[in-house]
Structure 1
Amino acid sequence: MFEAPYPPWDFTIKGSFAFETVIKRWPVILTGIIDNIYCRNHDLGVSLRDKTDEAEKATIEEIITEGKAIIGLVGQVKYDMARDRPLEPIPDDGEPLADVYNAELEKLAETKQNTWLAVPWLYSECYLYRLVRSYFVQTKHWKTYDPFLAQKESTFQKSSKAIYQLATTMHELEKDKDSLAVNPENLKVIFKEMVEMCLWGNATDLSMLTHLSHEQIQHLQSVGKDAQAARAEFILRDDQEKVWDHLKSFAGKADSRIDFVLDNGGFELFTDFVFADFLVTYTPYASKVVFHPKLIPWFVSDVTPPDFKSTTKSLLSPSFFPQEATPEGAPATDSSAESREHLYKMVKRWESYIDSGVFSLSVPIDSPLGSSDKKANFWTTPYPYWNMKELAPELHESLSDSSLVIFKGDLNFRKLTGDIKWPTSTPFETAIGPLAGSFPILSLRTNKADVIVAIDDEIAEKLESSGEKWRYNGKYAVVLFQPRAE
């Protein structure tokens, strides 16, 4: 098993994002879970007033009682965390990985690293979500409940303006599809727009993206390049040219496959769909896209199979996005009928791709929360991705057939690099250990945690001296590519 020559990030470094997480962020997340269950219980309690069937009333009361028990358990974790108490073993609840977490916890106990402020950050953060999941699994009525679903949907619904804008952008591409096919340079500029859309896609503000009207597409090289140049200072390492050259090598091949290791649901998943649509619809470089979800509620907003399945249905629902408010007496200014039609046609295309297998999940699309799959369980272990071949051979073998594996977001970057205190100039190839060369890797990461690699020393020193929290304030990003070994 690979071991890095440097220690991992931990909670003892005051001022680090790891320290901020355990002191501030986790209590807020746990409180959010408690509030969510409390509101659900309150709504159930109100519904009891109108029930006359005694069996139905008894069931609702049983659900409320179980909800109260979950609230108590989550509250206890919050209490223990604040007092640096030992982590408890995860109960044998019948779902995967409890034994994996507990085996690691036993090792940590041997070195007295098993309390909330001593345990390695990457382990404890993954452990927290698996522990909370166990509280729901051990009930009768809450097994399939996602305590983060309401939050995910609410954030998604606030993204309507950007969603309609992107739908219209894709519609404009459709009108210029033939001209793009004979002008690879224009296609490359749009590709870079798609990469950067996905890079910054966990924010609903698309002000940094170029809106490609029909006229702008005619002048795409100058318009796109100017916009990309303006954003370049925030991408601390940018391998987009290398990725584009890699993709072009698949022109004309019938079996080229792109894999997305997903991060957040909602708007970010929407941008992943848009990018995937661009690759298979408008370029000759990809014929199939596989999306990799998490099988349990994970890090609040990560995509689960139910999230994936509901996304297209939500986008097609005429009532999912709220109407935009307008001044009294003014004409309605919510998204135009044209924009809605553009979105409808695009999402219907996605559904046809899902039906035909052009788009697919790495697991059955109807997989419930808590299901087990050899190609997905690894994503919710506490392990770095370094030893995927030994720990998840089926997954590694599957990804080895991919033309490009796109790892989305911050947690995937942390796991690719082991969440280690690497020197900032450490090559990406070094930081991903034995995984380097296994398959082509593209990491799209907005900086939201301490670990960072592949940054020139001069750039890192300048950012450090500025006093800016550049490692985790979300303002900066990296686009890192590692090709398959020859």
Structure 2
Amino acid sequence: METPCSLSASYEGSFAYYTVKDRLPQILTKVIDTVHRNKNKFFEEYGEEGVEAEKKAISFFSKLRNEMQTNKPILPLNDNWQDIDIWNQYLDYQKTLLDNGEDPSWFRSSWLYVECYLYRRIHEGISLSPPISEFDVFRDVKNESFFQSQQAMITLCTHLQELKKTIASLSKEQHREEFYRLLQVSLWGNKCDLSISGGRDNSQKISILSSLESLKPFILVDNMESLWNTLTKNKDVSSEKALKTRVDIVLDNAGFELVTDFILADAILFFNLATEVHFHGKCIPWFVSDTTKHDFDWTIQQSLAANHKWMSKCGQTWKENLKKGSWVYHEHIFWTLPHEFWSMEKIAPDLYTELKKSDLIFF
């Protein structure tokens, strides 16, 4: 049986076509605007060198946008980041997939590959523009999205703290129902993905808790019961404490979604469903709003400093969880490679071995 070819932007009218024709150029235009808007900041920090770096980065991104819009060949990477050989080998592999000796290009190659490649090229453009090489071109929109969603976050933090106060009086059935609610909150946090919205404001303005019932029909596959069974079977029957159990969360977006993941992770420990939660983030800015180590730490710090007692209390708990090791943060280059997840065992055996230590992994 022949393997179907990958979806690409050569299929007019498809989401892939819309992505490469419109969505990715919009994101790149926003990147150019962001770098330009920070020109004075670069000057204050680095003097004329910072201004030259800004010009260099904008020139790089403008050229990249033109390559994309005119369907130019995909070029090898040219910086010194640790993954460069893997990316360039993958480009060689992509060349073997095309007929007639054609080069991989923006509209012809697999959409998944070219969208990942765009973000890797954005990283290249910044890293080749010292002294602004560490600048996160998406940080401004991520931070803005966090503050725009703050009211919805406060509602969640308040719900969690009230739940903790009443937990002793809840039946096992109510425990399970509350866990299901927080699982769904974490699921729908993904609605705030900034790459899907092309970088436009996509924050959570209203309480997601009040929307859960109306969103239920949109859950395609519901395995909440088997999740609950997996976690509760590791409890010590006499003490109701979790035996040594590890849950991993492969993080997606910063902002509201990250807070929903924190709320879920906090509840998993508090409900004695696990003894440790491990988080996995991205090494470089990725798909606009994906979580980096800076975003992870910044979100906990912002929660701690919030002018609301329950959000601040959550921030304090989360900071303590990290300090005592019941929360652990990891990053790995695999999450920002062009390879599909099924190739992890071969491409990143160390990460694969690490994840095998987990009792349950949330993607």
Q: TM-score, normalised by structure 1?
A: 0.67
Is contact 2:155-2:207 (8 Å) kept?
A: no
Identity %: 32
2:160 is paired with a residue whose SS is: helix
Unaligned runs of 5+ in 1: 48-55, 211-226, 319-336, 364-375, 408-486
Give deviations 1:427-481, integer Å, cap 9, x for gaps.
xxxxxxxxxxxxxxxxxxxxxxxxxxxxxxxxxxxxxxxxxxxxxxxxxxxxxxx
For residues 329 and 25 of structure 2, the distance between their equivalents in structure 1, rounded to whole angstroms, comes to 33
Aligned with residue 82 of structure 2, among 92, 96, 102: 96
What is the aligned partner in structure 2 of residue 464 from structure 1? none
The answer to whether the Cα contact below 8 Å between 2:152 and 2:208 also exists between their aligned partners in 1 is no
CA RMSD of aligned residues (A): 1.9
User: 1:140, 1:38 → 2: CA distance?
Assistant: 15
For residue 268 of structure 1, report the CA deviation from its aligned partner. Answer: 0.8
Name 1:371's counterpart in structure 2.
Answer: none
Structure 1 window deviating more from structure 2 (136-145 vs 267-276): it is: 136-145
Q: 1:393 is matched with which residue: 335, 342, 349? A: 349
**Which residue is 1:232 aligned to?**
216
- What's 1:78 paired with? 65
Per-residue CA distance 1:280-324 (angstroms, 9 max, x = gap):
01x222110000000001011100011111111112235xxxxxx
Q: Cα distance, 1:7 vs. partner?
A: 2.5
3-state SS of 2:189 partner = coil
Residue 296 of structure 1 aligns to a residue whose secondary structure is coil
The structure with more helix, counted as a fraction of residues: 2
**Matches of 1:400 and 1:262, distance apart in 2:** 17
Q: SS of the counterpart of 1:201?
A: helix
Map of 1:187-206 to 2, 5 A cutoff? Answer: 187-202=175-190, 203=192, 204-206=204-206
Detail structure 1 runs of 4+ shifted over 6 Å in the superposition: none
Aligned pair partner of 2:336 in 350, 359, 380: 380
**Aligned pair partner of 2:256 in 260, 264, 267:** 267
Task: Check if 1:64 corresponds to 2:77.
Answer: no
Instruction: Return the letter of the residue paired with 2:234.
Output: F
Q: What is the match of residue 269 of structure 2?
A: 280
Match of 1:25 in 2: 23
Offset of 1:347 from its aligned partner? 1.3
Which residue does the alignment assign to 1:209?
A: 209
Q: Deviations over 1:359-417 (max 9, x none)?
A: 11024xxxxxxxxxxxx11111101111211111111111111011000xxxxxxxxxx
How far apart, CA to CA, are the structure 2 residues paired with 1:229 and 1:166? 16
Q: Distance in 2 between matches of 1:71 and 1:271?
A: 35
**Alignment correspondent of 2:126:** 136
1:362 to 319, 330, 339: 330
Is the contact between residue 42 and residue 132 of structure 2 (CA under 8 Å) also seen in structure 1? no
Please report how far the alpha carbon of residue 279 of structure 1 lies from its aligned counterpart in structure 2 after TM superposition: 0.3
In the TM superposition, what whole-angstrom CA distance separates every residue of 1:111-139 from its partner, at most 9, and x where no partner exists? 22511111111111111111111121123
Where do 1:64-463 residues align within 5 Å?
64-91=51-78, 93-110=79-96, 111=98, 112-180=102-170, 183-202=171-190, 203=192, 204-210=204-210, 230-252=214-236, 253-281=242-270, 283-318=271-306, 340-363=308-331, 376-407=332-363
Equivalent-residue separation in structure 2 for 1:377 and 1:120 (angstroms): 21
Partner of 1:467: none
Alpha-carbon distance in structure 1 between the residues aligned to 2:117 and 2:131:
23
Q: 1:4 to 1:161 in 2, by over 3 A?
A: farther
Deviations 1:137-186 (A, max 9, x none): 12321121100000000010011111111111012112112123xx2210
In structure 2, C-alpha distance between the alignment counterparts of 1:43 and 1:62, rounded to whole Å = 12
Q: Distance in 2 between the 1:244 and 1:136 partners? A: 44
| Residues 74 and 103 in structure 2, CA contact (< 8 A), matched pair in contact too | no
TM-score if structure 2 supplies the norm length? 0.89
Distance in 1, matches of 2:208 and 2:301, equals 28
Q: How many positions carry a matched residue from both structures? A: 342
Provide structure 2 residue ranges, at least 5 long, that are not aligned to the other structure: 193-203, 237-241
1:125 and 1:6 map into 2 onto residues whose CA distance is 20
Aligned CA distance change for structure 1 residues 63 and 228 (closer, same or farther; 3 Å) = closer
Offset of residue 42 of structure 1: 4.1
Cα offset, 1:4, TM superposition: 8.9
Partners of 1:232 and 1:257 in 2: CA distance: 28
Higher Cα Rg, which structure: 1
